[in-house]
Amino acid sequence: MDFGIVLQTDPPAKEVVTRMARAEQAGFRYGWTFDSCVLWQEPFVIYSQILEHTTDLIVGSMVTNPRTRDWTVTASGFATLNEMFGNRTVCGIGRGDSAVRVTGGKPTTLTELGAAMHAIKELAEGREVDLAGTPVRLPWVTDGQLPVWMGAYGPKALAMAGAQADGFILQLADPYLTEWMVKHVRDAAAAAGRNPDDVTICVAAPAYVSDDLAHGRDQCRWFGGMVGNHVADLVTRYGESSDLVPQELTEYIKGRAGYDYSHHGRAGNPSTDFVPDAIVDRFCLVGPVEAHIEKLQLLRDIGVDQFAVYDMHDAKDATIDAYGEHIIPALS
């Protein structure tokens, strides 16, 4: 199993770079950031510094979207980083959440997302695409490689991830829901004539290593609110009771009153009071080292290829160090 670290691009940006370098030294192979350039600093500028100050770390977005960045700009950005530092980037992408909502927009359609994924990958790898009737190619790209990993929850999105994406990003670490969603992705890959094992499975969730469960839960409760934004969209589309979406995923948001994006992805988010301890325990990894190893072994047995740690709480460096010293060696 590979490990990734996920950070927000909070100022000062140099601390993000330093923490990514620390993570690489601890054994993390992937360095991810949010892409929400109003709430946080511009990630592509920071990616160049992360790549400059690391040796082998693979860097990417968790996740970008097709609305706030022109597809050619996204492709050119990743391709430029690859030309400078070798093929060490990955494009995580989804329909859009905070990046589009804080400016009054809405998530894109799956049709547009699929077209964007195709165009970004083709352009970043040096091939020509048709954009609204105009042939476009990045003529300076040679030997480019850009895996495109898709974030998804709902049945249609899971099917698209399996049929098209190089990887699937699931933002929760509940073994039951992970197994359900991984099966849908792999079935879709097989139906599309692909080898299901060619789709990399990445689970991303907060991790907090501590014997103080109450404090650890409070530091990670924000995550249930973030996931709840996507679940609310699913409920709007499919209803609260649907064979297409597990009740285990939708039940907990009944107490959700709204969401303030000014606290997005932050410990103590007041918009996440509705998230019960049971959901934090299911969606996140909280507890002593042994509890993390036990849950990660379950996820690995389900077929998870990478666990990406959302490192957004009051013990960022301690979490990196605990994973590097105890947890990554036990799972690698």
Q: What mean pLDDT value characterizes the chain?
A: 91
Q: Is 62 helix (H, G, I), strand (E, B) or coil?
A: strand
pTM for this entry? 0.91
Q: Is the pLDDT of residue 241 over 60?
A: no
The larger pLDDT score, comparing residue 151 to residue 103, is at: 151
State residue 273's pLDDT score. 77
Q: Is 48 helix (H, G, I), strand (E, B) or coil?
A: helix
Q: Is the pLDDT of residue 240 over 80?
A: no
Banded model confidence at residue 267, pLDDT cuts 50, 70, 90: confident
Instruction: Write out the DSSP string of 20-39.
Output: HHHHHHHT--EEEE---TTT
State residue 164's pLDDT score. 98
Q: Is the pLDDT of residue 274 over 70?
A: yes
- Measured CA to CA, the distance from residue 162 to residue 168 in angstroms comes to 8
Tell me the residue ranges of DSSP E strands in 23-119.
30-33, 58-64, 89-93
State residue 324's pLDDT score. 98
What value does the mean pLDDT take over residues 79-108? 91
Q: Which amino acid is at 49?
A: Q
What value does the mean pLDDT take over residues 272-291? 92
Closest listed residue to residue 165, CA positions, set 137, 144, 146: 146
Each residue's pLDDT tens digit, 183-203:
999 999 999 999 999 999 999
The larger pLDDT score, comparing residue 45 to residue 240, is at: 45
What value does the mean pLDDT take over residues 321-328? 98
What value does the mean pLDDT take over residues 234-258? 65
Cβ neighbours around 163 below 10 Å, total: 17
- Least-confidence region, from 91-100, 162-171, 263-272, 321-330: 263-272
Run of H or E residues at 248: helix 247-250
In degrees, to the nearest 5, what angle opens at C-alpha 82 toward C-alphas 79 and 88? Answer: 125
What value does the mean pLDDT take over residues 137-152? 97
The larger pLDDT score, comparing residue 255 to residue 37, is at: 37
